[in-house]
Amino acid sequence: MAKIKGTVVIDTEHCKGCKVCVVSCPCGVLDLSSQVNGKGYNYCYMANPDACTGCASCAIICPDTCITVYRQKFE
């Protein structure tokens, strides 16, 4: 059966750790890291990468446009 999988790349230096992407992801993929970036923000990362479908909800809502989304179909 064909499977749609996604992945995201987060610009961790632009990220301000606002968390709106985390609560907008329908698949529970994202979370805030315990690590901080150059500005001292706990940046966002893929805590559960296998669940990503590449729907781009996180990227659409990110106020700082930090997220790039890829999606691929596997036959």
Partner 1 sequence: MAEFEVQKTQENLVYSRTKVLTDNVMHYCPGCSHGTVHKLIAEVIDEMNMQDKTIGVSPVGCAVFAYNYLDIDWAEAAHGRAPAVATAIKRLNPDKMVFTYQGDGDLAAIGTAETIHICNRGENVAIFFVNNGIYGMTGGQMAPTTLIGMKTATCPYGRDPKLHGFPYKIGNIVSQLEGTCYVTRQSVNTPAAVRKAKKAIRKAFENSLAGKGVSFVEFVGTCNSGWKMDPVAANKWMEENMIPAYPLGDLKDI
Sign of CA pseudo-dihedral 26, 29, 33, 38 = negative
Q: In angstroms, how far apart are the furthest CA atoms of the chain?
A: 44
The residues, any chain, with a CB within 8 Å of residue 71's CB and separated by 6 or more, are 4, 5, 6, 53, 54
Q: Which of 5, 18, 31, 47 binds ligand SF4 (CB under 6 A)?
A: 18
Q: What is the binding site for ligand SF4 (CB under 6 A)?
A: 6, 8, 10, 15-21, 25, 27, 29-30, 44, 52-58, 62, 64, 66-67, 69
Q: What is the binding site for partner 1 (CB under 8 A)?
A: 3, 5-7, 9, 13-14, 16-20, 23-24, 39, 41, 50, 54, 56-57, 59-65, 67-72, 74
